[in-house]
């Protein structure tokens, strides 16, 4: 699958979640539709593979360099899960940047990387607007709140989509997360170390503002623009 086709797929997905006038319910509906479209794509590929048909779309380890803060890595992991990908980080580039890896089918990995990049920067931009600095305690608390709310929404979207699917597809979709995870695992590095997040106190007012922002995150056309920058 070439870059143009991948970007067209990303834009088609994001068009479903592009109405900035919508309320939280409408945005979540749009995001479920985008997720359902990608889920359908993966189910179709799985069905083709089950019948012995060759799939041209390769499985890749797609990388980009971005923020290394814990909340930014966790946000990227949440988005990766939504789009059937594994996620990890490798070496640090400097004090605030590291290399991010999205492992999965090409369309999944590129979509997840582009979406994660835009969401992280959207959270940071909003937090910085309020608290003035990238690393201010208020900005960090705001970002953690937004990340936690996004995680809640993604878990709900995955669960609800599986519940709303037809009985056969619901089982296929549930199994697909397992089979994709197993297949992606083959591209993961050996002896991958996990980091334990440090528990620190946060500004609860800033955290609550972040939660409100996370509830309204919309995956709009800017993600398609980010994909061009990442490639």
Rounded Cα–Cα distance for residues 60 and 51 (Å): 23
Q: Residue 68 — pLDDT band, cuts 50, 70, 90?
A: very high
CA quadruple 221, 31, 97, 134: dihedral sign: positive
90-113 burial: b if 16+ Cβ within 10 Å, else e: eeeeeeeebebbbbbbbbbbbbbb
Question: Three-class SS of residue 196?
Answer: coil
* Confidence at residue 197, expressed as pLDDT on a 0 to 100 scale: 55
Q: Residue 158 — pLDDT band, cuts 50, 70, 90?
A: confident
Rounded Cα–Cα distance for residues 55 and 77 (Å): 26
> Which range (64-68, 180-184, 198-202) has the least confidence?
198-202
Q: Residue 55 — pLDDT band, cuts 50, 70, 90?
A: low
Best CA proximity match to 104, nearest among 72, 81, 74? 81
Cβ(75)–Cβ(120) under 8 Å? yes
* Confidence at residue 98, expressed as pLDDT on a 0 to 100 scale: 96
> Which range (25-29, 98-102, 167-171) has the least confidence?
167-171
CA–CA distances in Å: residue 197 to residues 64, 70, 208, 220: 22, 7, 20, 30
Strand ranges, E, within the chain = 59-67, 86-92, 97-105
Indicate the pairing of strand 59-67 with strand 86-92: unpaired
Q: What is the pTM of this model?
A: 0.73
Query: What count of residues does the chain have?
Result: 231
Cβ(56)–Cβ(110) under 8 Å? no
pLDDT in tens, 2-17: 445 544 555 555 554 4
* Confidence at residue 153, expressed as pLDDT on a 0 to 100 scale: 83
Residue 193 CB coordination number (10 Å):
6
Q: Residue 37 — pLDDT band, cuts 50, 70, 90?
A: low
Average confidence score pLDDT of the chain:
76
Question: Three-class SS of residue 101?
Answer: strand
- At 196, list the tokens: 């334990």
- At 216, list the tokens: 């309204």
Cβ(140)–Cβ(71) under 8 Å? yes
Rounded Cα–Cα distance for residues 225 and 217 (Å): 17
pLDDT in tens, 123-135: 999 999 999 999 9
Indicate the pairing of strand 97-105 with strand 86-92: antiparallel
Cβ(102)–Cβ(80) under 8 Å? yes
């Amino acid at each position: 699958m070439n870059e143009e086709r991948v970007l067209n797929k990303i834009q088609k997905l994001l068009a479903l979640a592009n109405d900035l006038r919508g309320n939280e319910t409408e945005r979540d509906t749009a995001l479920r539709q985008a997720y359902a479209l990608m889920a359908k794509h993966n189910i179709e590929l799985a069905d083709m593979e089950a019948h012995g048909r060759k799939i041209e779309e390769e499985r890749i380890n797609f990388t980009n360099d971005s923020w290394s803060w814990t909340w930014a890595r966790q946000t990227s992991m949440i988005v990766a899960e939504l789009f059937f990908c594994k996620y990890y980080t490798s070496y640090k580039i400097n004090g605030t940047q590291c290399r991010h890896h999205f492992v999965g089918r090409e369309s999944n990995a590129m979509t997840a990387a582009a979406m994660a990049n835009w969401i992280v920067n959207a959270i940071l931009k909003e937090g910085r607007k309020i608290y003035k600095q990238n690393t201010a305690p208020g900005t960090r608390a705001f970002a953690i709140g937004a990340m936690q709310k996004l995680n809640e929404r993604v878990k709900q979207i995955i669960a609800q989509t599986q519940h709303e699917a037809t009985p056969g597809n619901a089982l296929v979709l549930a199994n697909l997360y397992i089979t994709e995870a197993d297949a992606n695992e083959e591209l993961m590095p050996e002896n991958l170390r996990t980091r334990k997040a440090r528990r620190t106190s946060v500004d609860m007012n800033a955290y609550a503002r972040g939660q409100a922002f996370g509830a309204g995150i919309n995956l709009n056309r800017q993600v398609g623009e980010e994909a061009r920058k990442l490639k």
